Every structure is written in structure tokens, then in C-alpha cells.
Structure 1
Amino acid sequence: ASCFEEASAAGDAAPKVAPSAAGLPGLVLDAADAVRRANTLLDAAVVVGHDLRHDFKLLRRFHHRRVLLRDTAFCPLLNAGLEGRAGRAGPPSLRALSREWLDESIHGAHAHNSVQDARTAMLLYRIIAPEWEQYVRKKWSEVL
């Protein structure tokens, strides 16, 4: 048996391929082990992303050192003058930041794309990285 199973959504022109756990004995981690390993990698990493609260909640990561976060959702330099999602209070969407700063439209009619989101968050970070890192050094000098 193949270690891949075909799975296609209705209307997709090309089938999507997903790994089958049965075909990968010893290579597939259970959820708890995957979370533990991911958290070990993240312990000393600077993490760049957008609204990382949701990602960290899934990883049960409530202790990440704020000095190591570069969350575009909560960066005043990027968010000045932008409203939260659908005009509500809170951080602006990644789509709004992308439109404002990169002059790019992300997602379009398609669903969320994690690779595109990661790329967009990194591009936003790089626009203001010197200012952001200066702020981090000033605010967190006693921790660094």
C-alpha cells in the first residue's frame, strides 16, 4: 500500500495528496509529542507571524517570552490608523496590513493559506525590522 492517500475536494481540478499514517510507521507523531517537539524548537526562537495568540493556543504555548515575538497584529508601527477586522476593536487583519503596506491582495476568494500568511508576515516585519529591533532592545534590555 502507498504511504499517500488521494483526497480531493469537490470541484478541485487536481487531487490533493495527504500522507497516510498507516503507510508511515514510526514516522507519524501523536499530537502530544508533536506539540512537545514544536515547543522545544520554539523555546529560543524569534517567532514572526500575525496574531500568534491562536497558533500558540493550539500549541498550548502560554509561556513564550514576549521578547522573542514579532507579531504583526500588535505592532503599532504597522497598525497606526487601521481598524480591526470588520470595523471592530482589535488588531487589523493580515489582509488589511498587506493591502496597506505591501499593496498586495492576499487570500482573494480562496481560503486561508498558511504559507502565504507566513510570507506576508515576514515581509511586513522586514519593512520595519530596524525600528522593531531597536524597540525590543530598549524595552527588554534587562532580559536580553
Structure 2
Amino acid sequence: MSGLMFNMICDPSQGGKSNKSKGNEKHERFLGRRRFLEQKGFLKDKQNKKRNEKNNKKKRKKQRHTQINGGDPSKPGAIFPQFTTTLHVRMNEPSCSTQTLSQKPSSSVSSTACTSPGKQTHRVAPRTVGPLKYLAMDCEMVGTGLKGSISELARCSIVSYNGDVIYDKFIKPINLVTDFRTRWSGVRKQDLRNATPFSQAQKEIVKIMTGKVIVGHAIQNDFKALKYFHPACQTRDTSRIPLLNHKAGLPVHEVASLKRLTKALFNKDIQTGKGGHSSVEDAKATMELYKVVEEEWEQTLASQPVC
């Protein structure tokens, strides 16, 4: 009797299909539906749609991350460019003239070799790239904060290769000025009453400089006041060129002042009097210094693709 009961319970033919058989039939039905959808093309379209949605979601997430982390959070308002990439007319009165930038058909510098601000890297592009525009910039700073210890931009002047004034404006610092430093800056209180706000001036200046070779004397100080980082491969700092010192008869590794170099090479006096410096005059003098060593300087850079 017990043997009979065991057969009735355990034999699938007598007690119905087992769970394993039911599972196999269910799986077969699923595979059949899947093959049918694949033949009709519905399943493939659905998979592609999901894949595209997933890729688009990743792209949007990456774009948001770039926008949020594109700059250095420790430097609010700083601009980081993306690389795809001489004198005297009322020198203390900004002219704000806008003229056509002159082009220099000499060796060109490629923006494709630009690196981060901390790395001084130069790469000279082949002449077929075409001439790049050369600009010289000089800025004047005033003091803000306790005892004027913080330097902020108060005037910026940009001139072309031929010395034409491209940009010259007084700029209102972000913080309250506590020291105008007029003896050196040439900036007075009345000059800043209707001055251009810093944020607006920053956009105007960066737009002019983007893609250009910028010449300056100790120019990193100007970039710092502007809260801007220009590509090293498109920057020419006349304060750090031994060849220029050599031509001026000065110690090769000495960081000579703009005034001293101009006097030694051109027998010309700048930054004289008690009225302070003129950023226009200084920018023009800087461009003239660059021209003295331009050919040899650019050839040196060309012979050292990465230096």
C-alpha cells in the first residue's frame, strides 16, 4: 500500500507536470516571443532606444560636471580659455579706440600645444597655419583690503603689433580701494568714478586676447589681476628673455625692469614724473622690446618644439 502511494505522488505522468517541466515550457514560450519580436524588428529598436537614452544621459551628466568644475573654485571669477585655438598721446587718459589688429606674417604659434597654466610649454606651428595676431598688454593695479595689501585691476591697455591702441579703459575694482598707488599706477580717485565694472571689462579683454599671442613684461602679474590664464604657448614675457638682456648689456639671468631695458636699448625714458605709469606707454614699449628679439626668439622656440 505504501509503495502504491509513493508512485502516485512522484510519477509525473500520474500526478501532473513537475515544476521543472513547467519552468521549461515557460522559458520556451519566452524565447519564442523574443524570436518573433526580433524577426519583426521591434526588440532591436527597443534595445537601441534604451542604449541611446543611456548614452545621452551620460553625456548630459558629463556636460554638467564640466560646467561645474571647469574653473578653479579657489579663484572665483577666474577664466580658463578652451584650446581648439611704439608714443605719447595724453598717456594718462584712456582712449578706448578700436582699430583693426595688424597681422604678423612671421612664425606662428599653434594653440594645439597649449598646456595648463603651471607648465611653460611652447610649440611652434608650421607657417601654413597662417599668421597669428600679436598684441601687447599692460595693466595698472590699485590696492584694496587692509592697508591696500591686495592688488586689483584698475586699468588695462592693449596695443597691436604696430602700436595702435586696441583697448584702454579704467576698471572699477571689485572691492573698496584703500590705496590708489598713484605714484606708480597713475590712477586717481576720479578715474574710477565711472569706470567699467570688473566683470564687464574682464569679458571684453578676454574676447580680444583669445587666440592671440600676448606680449607683456612680467605679464603673469597682469593675468593674475585679470583673473585669467592665457595659454603659455601664446605668451611672450619680455622680463624673462636672456637674449634681450644680452642685447641691452645687462646680466643675462637678471629680471630687468621695463624702464631699464627701454633706456638701454632705445635710449628712451619712460615712467617718469610724479603722475605715475601709463599702461599705454608701457604696452607700446613692451612690443618694441619684443621686436628687437622677435626673429631669434621665435626661431629658438621653433627649434625646441617642447621646452
TM-score by length of 1: 0.66
Task: Kindly state the Cα deviation for residue 30 of structure 1 after the two structures are TM-superposed.
Answer: 3.1
Gaps (5+ residues) in structure 1? 1-16, 22-27, 84-88
Instruction: Say which of 205, 208, 214 aligns to 1:38.
Output: 205
Task: Kindly state the Cα deviation for residue 29 of structure 1 after the two structures are TM-superposed.
Answer: 5.2
Task: Give 1:106's aligned residue.
Answer: 270
The answer (yes or no) to whether the contact 1:51–1:71 under 8 Å persists in 2 is: yes
Task: Give 1:131's aligned residue.
Answer: 296
> Counterparts of 1:58-97 in structure 2 under 5 Å?
58-61=225-228, 63-80=229-246, 82=250, 91-97=255-261
**Identity of counterpart residues, as a percentage?**
31
CA distance in structure 2 between the partners assigned to 1:52 and 1:122 by the alignment: 12
Task: Kindly state the Cα deviation for residue 18 of structure 1 after the two structures are TM-superposed.
Answer: 5.3
User: What is the aligned length?
Assistant: 115
Secondary structure of 1:70's counterpart equals: strand
Asked which structure has the greater CA Rg, the reply is 2
Structure 1 residues 29 and 114: CA distance shift in structure 2, 3 A: closer
Secondary structure of 2:280's counterpart equals: helix
Structure number with higher strand proportion: 2
Instruction: Say which of 221, 224, 227 aligns to 1:54.
Output: 221
Structure 1 residues 30 and 115: CA distance shift in structure 2, 3 A: closer
Task: Kindly state the Cα deviation for residue 47 of structure 1 after the two structures are TM-superposed.
Answer: 0.8
CA distance in structure 1 between the partners assigned to 2:267 and 2:294 by the alignment: 18
The answer (yes or no) to whether the contact 1:50–1:72 under 8 Å persists in 2 is: yes
RCO higher in structure (CA 8 A, sep ≥6): 2
The two structures, once aligned, show a CA RMSD in angstroms of 2.8
The answer (yes or no) to whether the contact 2:215–2:236 under 8 Å persists in 1 is: yes
TM-score by length of 2: 0.33
Matched letter for residue 283 of structure 2? A
Task: Kindly state the Cα deviation for residue 73 of structure 1 after the two structures are TM-superposed.
Answer: 0.7
